[in-house]
Structure 1
């Protein structure tokens, strides 16, 4: 019997980037749900359960910290990794201080991202 695929929510308002990353993660066996805004992410969270979320730090409708805080209220055990395209150490520190499990700087290596996702889900235990 094979284990169920890891359920990941990818939250990023850059549709092209998100589409490519989701495709690459699906090819590696993950069950990926894409949300192109914070509002879409909250709707997706209400509709299903996830093992981990990867959230962009800077989006048009709300920033990643607001999404992280919303996730903490709705699904407190959900590990959240922050993605930042701005390479700001301050942004990364802010995300970690707000409760993010980890962070990566865009563009990130797919294998590094998978390793961080796996580590985050093992730290938090089953959802």
Structure 2
């Protein structure tokens, strides 16, 4: 399973990718929508974990762009803000919506559920 993590907080997203790799996931990361689009054009991902609130391109906008490039990818949204509007929009567009800080065990569980593993 190949996963792409996208968050504008580079320390968070790189640490999350490392923690997922320790648990057997092949995890790449990007810090912007543009970087994520480039990665998806050049790699096959099963799932993307997207931050909802990012500068220039939101996670919701990014999901639409990524879906145009590679339909069939699954999505999980993360948000540090957790507004009701974000939840409604994110929950409708993804396998699940989690509020940061997210526990790694919960994220692993949601990834496995989204991908039909375990």
TM more than 0.5: yes
**Cα RMSD (Å) of the superposition?**
1.2
Aligned to 2:95: 101
List 4+ stretches of structure 1 deviating above 3 A.
none
- Unaligned 5+ runs, structure 2: none
Match of 2:112 among 109, 118, 121: 118
How does 1:25-104 map onto structure 2 within 5 Å?
Answer: 25-97=20-92, 99-104=93-98
TM-score by length of 2: 0.94
Aligned to 2:9: 14
- Unaligned 5+ runs, structure 1: 1-5
Counterpart CA distance in 2 for 1:104 and 1:70 is 21
Q: Please say which structure displays the higher CA radius of gyration.
A: 1
Question: What is the deviation of 1:96?
Answer: 2.4
